Every structure is written in C-alpha cells, then in structure tokens.
Amino acid sequence: MFGAVQTAAQGDDAPRVLRTTADDAITPVIADHLKEAVGRAEDEGYDALVVELDTPGGLDTSMREIIQRFLSAEVPVVVYVSPQGARAASAGAIITFASHVAAMAPGTAIGAATPVGLEGGDVENKVINDAAALAESVARLRDRDVDFVVDTVREGRSASADEALHVGAIDVVAASLGDLLDEIDGRQVEVAPAGTTVTLRTAGAVLDEHDMGVLRRIQQTLADPNIAFLFLSIGTLALIYELTSPGIGAGGAVGVVLILLALFSLSVLPVNTVGLLLLGLAAALFVAELFAPGIGVAAAGGTAALVLSGIFLFDDAPGLEVSMAVVAPVAAVVGCAVVFAGRLVLRTRATDSTTTGPGLFIDRTVTVHHVVGGRAQAFVEGAWWNVRPVNGELQPGRARIVDVEGLDLVVEPAPDNSNDQQTGES
C-alpha cells in the first residue's frame, strides 16, 4: 500500500521520514503533539515530517500555535490530508496551507475556514479580517493561490483535492503515502532560518512513527465538549446526592472525580461564562427540588437551565460543540433522577414523622459508645445521637432512653434483665 515506503533501516544513506497523525479537532492537546513532532524531527535529523491530517477544525489559538511552529521549522513539514473521505476544514485548512508541502488524497476536501460562533457586526468583521490576513500571509509565504486561500476564510469556500491542486492551493494529489513520498522527492523547499533551501529526500524513506501516547490521547478525549458536559452534569448530580443523602461517600467521591476531569476539559476549551452561570442555576434548582420537593417545578426549571447551559457552555468552534444528541438525554435523565430523589425524600420524611420520631425512642435500649468527658454517642435509627446521663456518670454499655432533648438522648443504665426493644442499631 505504501509503495516505496520502508519500515526498516536500509543503511545510513536511506532517507528518514517521521510520520504522525492529527485526526481530531484542533485543540491545545493536538497543538502540543504537532509541535513536539516538529521538535523531534529537527532534533533527530529527519529528512521530513509528514502529518496525516483529518480534522473538522478547532480552536483559533491552537491553530496559530501550530502555524507558527510550522513556519519556524528547520525541517520540511508535509501535511497530507488523508485517508480518502478525510477533510482539512476550518483551522485544518490554514494549517495545511502553512506546510512546506501541502498534499491531499483523492476524495478529500479542504476549506470552509470562516470563523464561526460570533454574534455579527464589528466584532465578527474584525475576527474575519484577522483570520483572512493570516491566511493571506501564509499563502504568499508558501506561494499558494492567494484568492482561493483568502476565500476559504471570507466566503467559506471549499474544494476537492483536484480543484485545490488546479487552483494552486496545494502541491500534490497522491493516492498513498508511498506515492506522495515518491512524488515530492527532489523538490526544493525553504525552511527556517529564512533563506535556507533544502532538497527533499523522501523516495524509499525509512518511516518512523511519532505516536500521541496514551496520556495525550486521554487528554484529547477529555478535550471534548460532549465529555465535559456529561462529566459536569453527572458529577454535579453525584455531589447533590451525597449532600442530601450522606453515607459512605461513594457518591461524593464519584462526583469529585468527574468534576475534576471536567475542569481539565474546561481548561483547554473556550468556555462561555453564560453557560457556566446556567449550569450553576441548574444545580441550585435541583438542590431546591431535593430539599423542598413539590410538583417538580424546580426540577423542570433545572432541566431547562441544564439544556441551555449545554447550548451556551462553549464558544462555537468547528468540531468543538456540544451535540444536542448528548444535551437532551443527559438533561432529561438528570431531571428525572432529581424528581425521583425528591419523591424519596418526601416519602422518608412522612415515614419518619410517623414511625421514627424522637419521642418514640423513649424506653428503648441502646448501646453507649465513645464515652469521653461525660459525653458519648449511640447509633439509633440510622443516625448517631449524642448521649448524656439522667444523673451520675455515663458508662459505656447498654442504657435505656428516658428522654430526648434536642439532639441529645437522656439515658439511664439499663436493668440487667431488661427486654431490649428494637432501636435500629448496627
């Protein structure tokens, strides 16, 4: 499939090419990965770096970091939009134009680089003008068709591989990586520092891989708005559950872990303050539903706020939006879970008022624990109560409840022949 590409060393004279991939949205994680690949290619003396690209676009800041690194590279950078069906859209298009050699596989597409997610007016015009200026500078530096490159920004123009080659926006259309390396062998490109010209040696090259690694792949997975929204929603629900039903802390632990993972996502994604405020409002309404359950009005409001937070949580960037296919079911599940939990709280309160009121503890026998300085505790009906003696000193062991004052159980020593009543102790 790879034609002249070799995967084993063919001697000291064989050219060496480093290959890596970027097949996801352009995020800070992808930017770090590609910058690292350029650095490795320079440090280890590779004849070229090939980046196989397939992206819907991504963050403007990350795109600019990648472009700056490509323009300052001391090794030829070849961007190859592949496999067939792949695209270099939005930020990916300008990254491709910034490479020393821009190549595409048949059946791929490039373009649609207009900034999105803005409200219109002067701000939008300024951002588009800025992006167009960058695209024009890159096109002139790499000797590409300026009109086409600028139109991808201003008009959202896209093109197939053959059309992009015809207008002079890219350099090569190749069916495979092997064909590409054979095709560009012997071409001259200018690398950094300015004025340095090198001749590409890529035919029959030894091919080494630069993998993202497990940690960076995990980071890229977390840098997904859908994952971030899911973790924020479920993590918040878990914390609410823990606060309203304290137990062994499993819900709280899960909630904290999910929130921390979501915070990482938020640190690398373009967060919108309105979205965060809506998320906080949703959490507050869900808590209100649990502490004051009624007909579900608060839960309904929380669900609506959660849906809106998913819509507004991230500033739009191609490939970095929360899908409504995620927002709607997550909000529905969280809302229903809160309503169900509220019903349980209401039922528990009703049960407690008739079967486990503190007044019903009178004459029950309990086990006194943790006697320190005249104070102690006893576990009754699923909760720890403070214990104090009716008179005299408090001793550990069995005792009979004679009164309940606030959160204190007043006890006296239980007779040895007492018939213990059920207290719900564990």
pLDDT by residue (tens digit) across 332-389?
999 988 888 777 766 655 555 444 555 667 888 888 887 776 678 888 876 778 888 8
Is the pLDDT reported for residue 152 higher than 50?
Answer: yes
pLDDT, tens only, 250-300: 778 899 999 999 998 888 888 888 998 999 999 899 888 877 766 788 889
Q: Helix H segments across 106-224?
A: 122-141, 146-154, 161-167, 177-184, 214-222
H/E stretch holding 278 reads helix 273-291
Task: Say if pTM beats, i.e. exceeds, 0.75.
Answer: no
217 pLDDT band, cuts 50/70/90, is very high
327 pLDDT band, cuts 50/70/90, is very high
**Sheet holding 158-160: strands in order across?**
87-89, 109-111, 158-160
pLDDT at residue number 103:
98
- Per DSSP, 417 falls in state T
Is the pLDDT reported for residue 22 higher than 60?
Answer: yes
Task: Please report where in the chains the tokens 């790499």 appear, as a residue.
Answer: 142
Closest CA to 42 of 7, 78, 77, 15: 77
Class of domain 358-413: mainly beta
Q: What is the Cα–Cα distance from 259 to 278, expressed in whole angstroms?
A: 16
As beta bridge partners, residue 401 has 411
Q: Are 25 and 226 in contact (CB under 8 A)?
A: no
pLDDT, tens only, 373-385: 667 888 887 677 8
Which residues contact residue 147 at a Cβ distance below 8 angstroms, ignoring those fewer than 6 apart?
A: none
Least confident of 67-81, 133-147, 252-266: 252-266
Mean pLDDT of the chain: 86
Q: What is the Cα–Cα distance from 385 to 393, expressed in whole angstroms?
A: 18
Is the pLDDT reported for residue 2 higher than 50?
Answer: no
Q: What is the Cα–Cα distance from 120 to 122, expressed in whole angstroms?
A: 7
Pairing of strands 408-413, 383-389: parallel
pLDDT at residue number 200:
98
As beta bridge partners, residue 389 has 411
pLDDT at residue number 316:
61
Per-residue pLDDT, averaged over 45-58, amounts to 96
pLDDT at residue number 26:
94
**What SS3 class is residue 48?**
strand
Q: Are 396 and 368 in contact (CB under 8 A)?
A: yes
Closest CA to 31 of 46, 20, 42, 19: 20
Q: Read out DSSP for 49-65? A: EEEEE-B--B-HHHHHH
Looking at per-residue pLDDT, the higher value among 237 and 230 belongs to 230
Least confident of 61-70, 211-220, 388-397: 388-397
Sign of CA dihedral 170, 175, 181, 182: negative
Q: Are 22 and 52 in contact (CB under 8 A)?
A: yes
Per-residue pLDDT, averaged over 97-101, amounts to 98
Least confident of 84-93, 171-180, 283-292, 344-353: 344-353
Least confident of 119-123, 264-268, 309-313: 119-123
Considering the four listed CATH numbers 3.90.226.10, 3.40.50.300, 3.30.56.10, 3.20.20.60, the one that applies to the domain covering 16-213 is 3.90.226.10
Is the pLDDT reported for residue 121 higher than 60?
Answer: no
Is the pLDDT reported for residue 54 higher than 50?
Answer: yes
Is the pLDDT reported for residue 4 higher than 50?
Answer: no
Strands in 200-249 per DSSP E: 206-209
122 pLDDT band, cuts 50/70/90, is very low
Which residues contact residue 354 at a Cβ distance below 8 angstroms, ignoring those fewer than 6 apart?
A: none
Q: How far from chain centre, in Å, is Cα 31?
A: 16
Q: In the structure encoding, which two tokens stand for residue 388, read together?
A: 């104090």
Q: Are 17 and 46 in contact (CB under 8 A)?
A: yes
pLDDT over 90 for what percent of the chain? 54
pLDDT at residue number 359:
61
Is the pLDDT reported for residue 119 higher than 80?
Answer: no
Is the pLDDT reported for residue 74 higher than 60?
Answer: yes
pLDDT at residue number 247:
57
pLDDT at residue number 349:
56
